[in-house]
């Protein structure tokens, strides 16, 4: 966590996507499903799970595009890029 700026929607979304389900003591569903990390060919399920997490826990942003990069799976690397944008309704309130 950052010392400042944790209230920004982009920062909150990034923190959610870094959290593995089960890490938050009183909200065990918050975060991404850790079981998808080691499963072969789970890129679509991981992208759908990331989208669900953002829709459920960070309604101030839209996940415009989720791109998974399975090229490094054999070496144990898995990258996911999520392009988020702040929702228009929230921008007008400011």
Kindly report whether the global pTM for this prediction surpasses the value 0.85.
Answer: no
- Per-domain residue ranges of the chain: 9-93
Which of 50, 51, 60, 57 has the alpha carbon at shortest distance from 89?
60
pLDDT at 34: 82
pLDDT of 64 reads 82
Q: Percent helix, strand and coil across the chain, each rounded to 5?
A: 45, 20, 35
pLDDT along the chain (94 residues), means of 10: 70 87 89 79 82 89 78 66 76 53
Top-level CATH class of 9-93? alpha beta
pLDDT given for residue 91 in this prediction: 53
């Amino acid at each position: 966590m950052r010392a400042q700026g944790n209230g920004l929607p982009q920062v909150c979304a990034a923190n959610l996507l870094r959290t593995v389900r089960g890490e938050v003591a009183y909200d065990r569903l918050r975060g991404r499903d850790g079981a998808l990390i080691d499963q072969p060919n789970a890129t679509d399920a991981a992208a759908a799970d990331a989208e669900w997490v953002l829709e459920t826990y960070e309604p101030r942003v839209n996940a415009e595009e989720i791109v998974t990069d399975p090229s490094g799976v054999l070496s144990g690397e898995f990258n996911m890029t999520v392009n988020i944008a702040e929702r228009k309704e929230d921008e007008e309130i400011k």
